[in-house]
Chain A
Amino acid sequence: MSRIFVAGMGAVSPAGWDVAAMRNALDRGQPLPVQSLARPGWDHRALRVRLVPTPIPRPEFLAHPRLRRSSPISHYAAAAALEATAGLHAQVGDEALRLGIVVCLQTGCVQYTCRFYEETLKNPATASPLFFPETVYAAPTSHVATLLENVVVACTLVGDSSAYIQGVALASEWLADRHVDACLIIGAEETNWIIPDALLHLDRKAIVAAGAGALCLCRDGTLSSGVELAAITDAHSFTSGRSRPLAAKTMREQLGKCAPGELLADGLGNNPRTDGAEQVAWSDWTGARISPKRIFGEGMMAAAAWQFILACDAVARGQYTAANISLVGANQQALGARVIAGQ
């Protein structure tokens, strides 16, 4: 069995356009500022969101022909991917590297989807053909693959936030099968009014956030950023025969006991009702703990990626010897992972 290492990380979040900005915001420990977002039909109220700040100066890669007209989710995914692979490109020639990409989404390309559907309802005969292709879940994957050029296989996974760890597992399979030399796992989301509007029905306290996170895995230990993938639990789905709390508990049991010097990166927000299952599953945890959603907001798949990346970053910087990542999804399944200091 191949060992799998973390070769790089990248992030775009409401804190800024790199991992350092996200790490600094986490270290400050204060929830990021909230912005107002207009909603059609609401004159006196607004939705609350955490948006990605406009990058200054505008990154050069946004001039790529594929990204000029694409929606923000592709920009976030591309920026995170470039940051995560920067070290890899410096050490290995592009020609020699076969790269895979797994892009994980929960709500996907909502901006162009809403714009296109709005046009459809007004007059389908004049709906813009430029928007429609960008509504497809696979669009960000395609754009990022084209930008990176040396991509040989790609997959887009859809699901709740737990699907991010499924993406990590798929990447590990491709690496173990020697199908690729390195593999990016990107979690990304964009937002417009419809996502916070929908979330109001499910979790009134959550504040939607946008952005992306990218993790680059490799087999070659010399490319490691100092972190090794140690374990991924089974995917414990929520069905009529297995409740969300039970799935969370089973996932937690697979990750083992807390040891000194270890970190837990959990997915807790600020709602006792939605956090309950995960809270109970990890009630025995006595070690250090981070809850990125409390700082950055409900970024769904992007938040899952941020959780994973912040855990890896803390291990890579020598703050912890190992980190556990807990993802108890909203409505699909619970998965966990463990990373350790390596190479």
Chain B
Amino acid sequence: MLFPPSHFPSQPLRVVITGAGLITALGRGWKPNAEGFRVGRRAFRPVSLFDVSHQRVKVAAEVDLPELGSEVFPAGRLGRRQLDRLDRAGKMLLLAAQESWRQSGWQSSEPDADQLPLVLGTTSGGMLLGEAYYRQAVQQPSRQRQQATRAVQYQSQLQGRMVLDALGCSGPITVISNACASGANAIGHAWNMVRAGRAERVIAGGYDALCQLVFCGFDSLQALSPTACRPFDAQRDGLALGEGAGIVNLETLDCARRRGAEILGELIGYSTSIDLHHLTQPQPNGNTTVTVMQQACAKAGVTPEEIDYLNAHGTGTVLNDSSEAAAISTWAGRHAATLPVSSTKAGIGHLLGGAGAVEAVVCLMALREQWVPPQTHFETPDPACKFPVVTQPHDAPLTTVLSNSFGFGGVNATLILRRWA
């Protein structure tokens, strides 16, 4: 029963990550992404998925999506028809989930595989199918072909069901849509579940695909950069959009040890809050952001001085970055002067509902391989930045890292990860 809960651990349980999967414009899987993030590679190119000829901005970080078939998924789990129903977002989600599942070594034959929670963050789910539904409904009102499938598969919980089917398990599906904080919130929610003993293992992450409505939306707000995405640069002029998915498999430390699993890292802190300032703009002085970072640190039992690297939300818009810079400076105090900060959105764009989850996996990579992801194309620091923005690839001894995510509507989320050594 979800209420009243039947199990209360006397102490919060330690939560470790034993699987991680991601797909971004840098590639599919850990290796190409780690290689790309390590050197600050940029993956933008002209948009080919829809017509952008009338837009101010014409580039984004598109994913090269492979054909999905039985070489990717175990035979029999997902049929050809099921795979054909998936849109880009669903395919990326499946690929990331499959990679994470394999890395974790979880098996569908395990006793709790029929009650394995899945927590996903997304802003637009199957919006590509929604767009197709709308176009056909308006342009060919009497044509019904594929409309029923689109009406169903458009819903993000169906993409979650497809993940569970592909992995051969069942369990409660939770879909969080807190705009661009969704992916971080999904992982944080999963962390809360495991930590409080409500589940021993949880699959969590975020995903979103590029679609015309969202691209045009950010362009209409003049939020897209017509030059290059340069978070925290004094000359920054907007964000760049990307697409992708990031998934992690979380479990209790006891469970991982019992299984003899390889532990990739430990999730030690999470907090979320809401900024009531404006629907699309953050509070200028970043007060709510300071609070969410402080609360996450308190839960993790660390001080700002113990954070070795901060993966910023850092969209590249004037308002977001100045607010976040102020918040980081306030929260870190004197430690800000030596705290390496970067935004990996400079390389793969803003993944919206996928951003927080992919960036959590990037933090995991940095912890595992002991490097700091740089932002290339960075020239003039914004005077509001009291911290060094990482511009050159370099190795670094990282023990604890922090990742920020903020969304339209004001929801903020902070995750804190620790190296497992």
Contact = CB atoms under 8 A, between A and B. Distances in A.
B74 to A, nearest CB: 13
B220 A239 contact: no
Contacts of B279: 66, 133-134, 139, 142-143
Interface in B45-84: 52, 54-56, 77
Contacts, number: 221
Contact of B220 (A39, A121, A129, A145): A129
A231 B138 contact: no
Nearest to A329: B157
Contacts of B3: 4, 168-169, 172, 229, 231-232, 337
A331 B55 contact: no
Contacts of A155: 176, 178, 185, 272, 411
A40 B156 CA distance: 26
Contacts of B125: 158
Nearest to A110: B130
Nearest to A101: B274
A153 B212 contact: no
B175 A159 contact: yes
Nearest to B218: A132
Nearest to A42: B141
B164 A41 contact: no
B217 A116 contact: yes
Interface in B112-143: 114-115, 122-123, 125, 130-131, 133-135, 137-138, 141-142
Contact of A120 (B144, B178, B212, B408): B212
A194 B177 CA distance: 21
A137 interface: yes
Nearest to B116: A237
On chain B, which size bracket covers the interface? Answer: 35 or more
B175 A146 contact: no
Given A169-B2, A233-B1, A234-B172, A138 B408 contact: yes
Contacts of A123: 54
On chain A, which size bracket covers the interface? Answer: 35 or more
Contacts of B222: 129
Nearest to A130: B220
Contacts of A198: 133, 147, 151
A257 B123 CA distance: 40
A234 to B, nearest CB: 6
A132 B53 CA distance: 20
Interface in A58-83: 66
A156 interface: yes
B54 A124 contact: yes
A160 B137 contact: no
A194 B276 CA distance: 31
A272 B138 CA distance: 31
A231 B134 contact: no
A159 B56 CA distance: 34
Contacts of A42: 141
A138 B147 contact: no
Given A136-B408, A142-B409, A158 B177 contact: yes
B213 interface: yes
Interface in A106-132: 106, 113-114, 116-118, 120-121, 123-125, 127-129, 132
A173 B192 contact: yes
A172 B1 CA distance: 12
B105 interface: no
A163 B2 CA distance: 13
A151 interface: yes
A172 B3 CA distance: 8
Contacts of B142: 41
A13 interface: no
A168 to B, nearest CB: 8
Nearest to B280: A133
Given A120-B213, A125-B55, A232-B3, A138 B173 contact: no
Contacts of A118: 138
A321 B54 CA distance: 62
Nearest to A167: B174
B137 A154 contact: no
A2 to B, nearest CB: 9
Given A121-B135, A145-B276, A194-B137, A235 B411 contact: no
A238 B161 contact: yes
A149 B276 contact: yes
B421 interface: no
Contact of B407 (A138, A239, A335, A337): A138
A307 interface: no
A311 to B, nearest CB: 15
A135 B352 CA distance: 14
A237 B138 contact: no
Given A117-B134, A153-B272, A239 B213 contact: no
B276 A232 contact: no
Contact of A333 (B152, B173, B212, B274): B173
A66 B178 CA distance: 18
Contacts of A151: 274, 276
Interface string B203-225: 00000000011001111111000
Contacts of B379: none
A254 interface: yes
Interface string B166-195: 001111111111110000010001001000
B161 A156 contact: no
A159 B157 contact: yes
B273 interface: yes
Interface in A22-79: 39-42, 66
B260 interface: no
B134 A194 contact: yes
Interface string A331-342: 111010100000
B35 interface: no
A40 B133 CA distance: 13
Contact of A331 (B114, B133, B158, B274): B158
A1 B216 CA distance: 48
A260 interface: no
B176 to A, nearest CB: 6
Contacts of A335: 2
Contact of A124 (B55, B148, B176): B55
Contacts of B254: none
Nearest to B153: A331
Interface of B: 1-5, 8, 52, 54-56, 77, 114-115, 122-123, 125, 130-131, 133-135, 137-138, 141-142, 144, 147-148, 151-152, 155-158, 160-161, 164-165, 168-179, 185, 189, 192, 196, 198, 212-213, 216-222, 272-274, 276, 279-280, 407-411
Given A163-B157, A177-B196, A194-B133, 4 more contacts: A129-B222, A154-B410, A157-B176, A173-B192
Q: Identify the 9 closest CB pairs spanning chains A and B, nearest first.
A: A41-B141, A235-B172, A142-B409, A138-B409, A132-B217, A201-B148, A137-B177, A232-B3, A198-B151
